[in-house]
């Protein structure tokens, strides 16, 4: 894959490697499944035109395996979409760690306190620093994308969405629908994204176009975050 942007953070380097691995895996499965379905179609046509009674069982088997080929392609696209969101989410958490390891000052706040027992559980300042960073990242990891976007704006004065916040939020909610509701659209989802393309009770279908668009949107946001974080924190 040709690179037009060189990552500046270790977090983006890992993100791009993970995305490359995912896309390679998907390419192998998609092309293998397409060839499998094409070959099955040729075999089925031969059986139906020229085969005798003894070939009926084999033809039925091929029909079933052809259906499995379609199922496999759909399954791979669905899982690829989910994993794209996971890779992006992990990138953002990793980038936050990277920022704080370079500059702990944005973590300072009057809103959060540590009790003596927790404070004294750390052996030195380095362990305390790492512990505070992990507590912060863990808490944020359970939040929505909008919360993460807000966190970057408030803590680091960085806009990671660049006018794509609604699009990315929609992608995150599609992931949630796939994971938690078997891909079936509910009223909450439809009310949140009133675009006419979602219907209550219908399943969200992940096709190649959506996968490509998801990759493009998330990677653009990741590069924006990488560039801004480098300027503000990592280049110093």
Structure token pair of residue 127: 């362990």
Q: Quick one: how far is CA 121 from the chain centroid?
A: 35
pTM, full prediction:
0.81
Q: How confident is the model at residue 92 (pLDDT cuts 50, 70, 90)?
A: very high
Q: Count CB atoms within 10 A of the CB of residue 209.
A: 8
Q: Torsions phi, psi of 122, nearest 5?
A: -90, 140
From CA 203, how far away is CA 236, in angstroms rounded? 48
pLDDT tens-digit map of 29-43: 767 655 555 555 554
Q: What's the mean pLDDT when you consider all of the chain?
A: 83
pLDDT tens profile 144-166: 999 999 999 999 999 998 889 99
Q: What are the backbone angles phi and psi of residue 203, rounded to the nearest 5°?
A: -90, 145
């Amino acid at each position: 894959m040709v690179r037009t942007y060189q990552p500046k953070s270790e977090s983006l380097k890992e993100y791009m490697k993970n995305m490359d691995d995912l896309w390679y895996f998907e390419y192998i499965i998609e092309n293998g499944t397409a060839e499998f379905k094409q070959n099955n179609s040729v075999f089925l046509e031969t059986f139906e035109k020229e085969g005798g009674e003894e070939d009926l069982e084999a033809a039925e088997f091929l029909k079933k395996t052809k259906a499995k080929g379609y199922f496999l392609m759909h399954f791979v696209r669905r899982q690829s979409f989910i994993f794209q969101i996971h890779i992006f989410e992990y990138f953002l958490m990793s980038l936050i760690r990277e920022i704080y390891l370079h500059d702990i000052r944005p973590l300072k706040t009057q809103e959060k306190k540590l009790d003596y027992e927790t404070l004294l559980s750390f052996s030195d300042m380095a362990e305390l620093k790492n512990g505070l960073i992990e507590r912060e990242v863990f808490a944020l990891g359970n939040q929505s994308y909008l919360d993460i976007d807000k966190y970057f704006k408030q803590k680091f004065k960085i806009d990671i969405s660049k006018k794509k916040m609604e699009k990315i939020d929609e992608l995150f909610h599609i992931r949630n629908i796939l994971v938690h509701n078997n891909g079936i659209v509910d009223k909450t989802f439809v009310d949140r994204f009133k675009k006419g393309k979602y219907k209550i009770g219908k399943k969200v279908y992940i096709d190649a176009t959506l996968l490509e668009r998801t990759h493009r949107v998330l990677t653009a946001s990741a590069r924006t975050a990488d560039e801004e974080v480098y300027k503000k924190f990592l280049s110093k």
